[in-house]
Structure 1
Amino acid sequence: MQSLSGLEVCSFEPLTPDDDLDDLRARLAAARLPESETVISTELGRRRWDQGVPLADLQEIVDYWRTGYDWRKFEERIDAIGQFRTSIYGLGVHLLHCRSARTDATPLIMTHGWPGSMAEFVDVVDALAHPDDPGTPAFHVVVPSLPGFGFSDKPSTTGWGTEKIATAWVELMRRLGYDRFLAHGGDWGGVITTILGGRFPAHVIGIHTTLAQAPPGMTTEGLTADERRWTEENSDFQHHHSAYAKQQATRPQTIGYSLVDSPVGLLVWILDKFAEWTDIDDSPFEAISRDRLLDNVTLYWLTRSGASSARIYYESHNSLDPDLRVDVPAAITTYPRDIEKNPRAWAEERFRQIVRWKEPESGGHFPSLENPDHFVRDLQEGLAAVLAATGMRRT
């Protein structure tokens, strides 16, 4: 147990009862499934997913979840990293915390989004904290679970939006002994990371994000053809592929009943997004292992967080302050298959000191899961540029 200023950050080792795992397998065995989709194709490709998760794919992964998947391996993995809990503003917050042995390591908080979890980062923590190359920056890595997600508590009142979460993260890092730190995030984690950089420059050295949301009202005048295509894809996503967000932003409790009661319902709600948002030709399992995706889904299931996690949309949808500006150094990576891509000229209206801008040739919304090695290199290089801009590291 760590204790700073009378505030405790306690070690934490969750152990799922065998009865909960037996109940999960029984529910999977008794699942009632609909008939097959009516866009059946004999060829592999994204068209098979036009109506959602194909029945054949679902049956295969449900069978594996019931008979082959081992949750205990994930429990061992996260416990080896180091798990802790603390209470901030009356809410219990779960976190992974891996301190580097390097004396020059810099604190780094990494924030996930939906439908992800801290499981997004378990395969990259060690490489970030303990790089093989002594010339590569090392980090004391902190990975909290968002309120309502995983082993963090579920808020019992409204008010836990992205602004309050960012404020809580500053307090969390202070309790760990990190008054100054770096921040990374994508999806909702990207929004929180933006707020951290914009609201707390006295504590945040700089940021790396895969979501560089521009202020509203930007014009397409002067954009390149590729950048215009990005804006068209953003518009298409908002108009034709964001029903899940509108549902969770307006009626999270309604969809929450299904997500907490049915493991198959939870699985397809999440799997559908991994299939649509990952840089693949047909199945998300081309890029992400079945075990890692099921680690993420099983975490949602066992913690009954389908409804509570959805509420972040109710609390925060379209709530990023249009006037917020980020003056600390920022490294931004925009992946080609991500769901929101902002041209650099737009991003520069909010992020005033972009020290590194990258557009990889491949990758989607879950880069730390799709290609962990590339993600680690990109994060190391991006944060090295941030540190160099502050004079804390030589390039």
Structure 2
Amino acid sequence: YREVIKDLAVQHSALEHEVNDLKKQLAPLPNSSRWGNLNLLPRAGVGRESDIQHQREISESHKKYKAEIERAQAHVEKLQDSNKHLRQRIAEQEQNMRMQTIKFAQELDKAKSQGPLKITKVSDNEIQNQWKQLCFLVRQFVDNHLPRSLHFRAVEKSWARSSYAPMVLRAEFRHHLQSPMFCPVFLESLIWHCLYFEVFYPGAKSWAGRIGAKFIKQSQSILGKINTYLCGLDTRIAQFHDWRASSAAFIRQAAYNPATLEEAVVAGLSGVMESLVPPINSSAGTKSASQIQCDILEISHAAMELDSVLRISRADLKVFMTTMDKAPSNPKPFEFGFDFDHNLMQLTNTLPILESSLGVPDVVGLAISPGIVKYGTADGTRYDQWRVLAKLQAMSSAQ
């Protein structure tokens, strides 16, 4: 904008000089009164015919000069109009430059408030709302596309053929697969198990590929050394999470390819579907394959968006599908049977017969959906405090 305004100003100055030069040239030209006076001057010693000829020449000269004056005046007016237009353009460009300056300053302030690499501060409510939406999509998928009853032997045979073995189902649940109350919960658990290891698991590759998985491994090693050798010094932990969040944001920008990385999540969910091919084919009212694939993509996208928010937050946000102190070190089938923790888990009362007679569950027989625990704040402080944003949805196997 400054270069444009500079060029317009040069044009404006040149036009001003041209107008002034024309005015100087027009000043000495005779006007109509002067030429009228000249017409009246006698010409001694010249006949009437020569007087007429002389008057004709004067008249023609007068017309000629008058036409030149009119053309010059028209040119001056044109130059003045152009000059006026240039002044308007200069004013508009200056206004645009002021607006752009204000906008840039606002964006700069916003970027500073977000921190380096646009690490936004997402509120707990936003995270919880995204989590609820993902839960809704999973539940809707089960209701729309999956059967209401299964035979464990058919499922077992399908798992034997499939490369994706979701979990080890405890014996006390197997005969309940034919129940329209338990079967949807079991299928929901299968999908969540897949999402956990393909998306929310710390070493999952869906957020930044192999580079992201290696970074998580190294950062966990660094945090372990801080806790071991520095006794969990608060300032060091805060510095670590600031570095972790900034690095995660940078790695995601550098390595993120949504089309490629989403394929792994879709493949995992499709693997769950393949493991249930016989039950799905034998059930009535299933949707078309294209609609199923569309819904799988929607679930994958929602899960990856939420996972990205969790990973680049300065708060330490953990997604867990088992006890917090015994998280699996490798993506492998779950075998449930860990203790039920009221602070971190919530019992799903789908099958009352599976609950303890005292109403207090002893162990988790089936984890339906993961939980989320938040350590610290989005500002990078108070890592000694924690809050449960979502409880692990569980089913007890106590009789």
TM-score normalised by L of structure 2: 0.22
Q: Which has the larger radius of gyration?
A: 2
Select the structure that is richer in helix: 2
Kindly indicate which of the two structures has a greater share of residues assigned to strand. 1
Q: TM-score, normalised by structure 1?
A: 0.22
